[in-house]
Amino acid sequence: MTPRPDPYAGFPEGFFDRADERPDAEFYGPPRLVTHIDDGAIAAVGGLYAELGIDGSAPAPTRVLDLMSSWVSHFRTPPAELVVLGMNAAELAANPAATEQVVHDLNADPRLPLPDGDVDAAVCCVSIDYLTRPVEVLAEVGRVLRPGGVLAVTFSNRCFPTKAVRGWLATSDEQHGALVAELVRRSGAFGEPAVSLRTPPGPGDPLWAVVAHRA
């Protein structure tokens, strides 16, 4: 039998380690009902979702998975169905756009507790840097997406540095788009990802996006 290729071949040793390797359930136990990007970046996230046709302004009802979610999902208009998956039950319960809440630790188990082809779109906002097995998670996203479904990963320059993987901290803001795009490619589930800066130059939090469609 031919051995399966290592999805992380070529990355430096320790790239996906973290300074704080305690169970994530301990770190994320207390609810944090705060926003992690400024108003301009939040508006850029909502604008991207509207542009992709995955929010409530879409002609047809959409079912969206919000990975590593919290008490707010940044849709201008919430989709018809929004499955929020995250670490803190109180935060997820406080999300007014959510129609379904799933408490699940993707670093402990990268498998998504959803059936094949269950959602039209998946989003991950300012959280991709915390995944220790991102390729496996992204492959799972491909599994639960319907054919042609869209993945939108957004990120800025803020994080919890002890919980972000070392490779994220060791690369520049400009390099993060290329890194996320490569992780999407390695999942084998998507067409070629597109990287874009969604906020104008100047003061405020920058907001980048990587968008890809299920192959």
pLDDT band at 33 (very low <50, low <70, confident <90, very high): low
Ranges of H-type helices in the chain: 24-27, 39-52, 89-93, 134-144, 166-170, 173-187
pTM of the model: 0.94
Helix/strand/coil for 116: coil
Output helix, strand, coil percentages for the chain, rounded to the nearest 5.
25, 20, 55
- For residue 16, being part of any structural domain is answered with no
The whole-number pLDDT of residue 25 equals 86
The whole-number pLDDT of residue 183 equals 98
User: In CATH, what number is assigned to the domain containing residue 196?
Assistant: 3.40.50.150
Give the amino acid at 168: W
- For residue 110, being part of any structural domain is answered with yes
CB 76 within 8 A of CB 55: yes
Better pLDDT: 60 or 156 = 156
Which residues constitute the domain of residue 190? Answer: 24-213
Query: Average pLDDT in the 116-137 region?
Result: 98
- For residue 61, being part of any structural domain is answered with yes
- For residue 13, being part of any structural domain is answered with no
- For residue 11, being part of any structural domain is answered with no
* DSSP symbol at 214: B
Give the amino acid at 22: R
pLDDT in tens, 140-157: 999 999 999 999 999 999
- For residue 29, being part of any structural domain is answered with yes
Q: Which of 211, 195, 155, 148 is nearest to 37 (CA)?
A: 155
* DSSP symbol at 2: P
- The count of domains in the chain is 1
Maximum alpha-carbon separation in the chain = 55
- For residue 77, being part of any structural domain is answered with yes
pLDDT at 4 over 90: no
pLDDT band at 126 (very low <50, low <70, confident <90, very high): very high
- For residue 181, being part of any structural domain is answered with yes
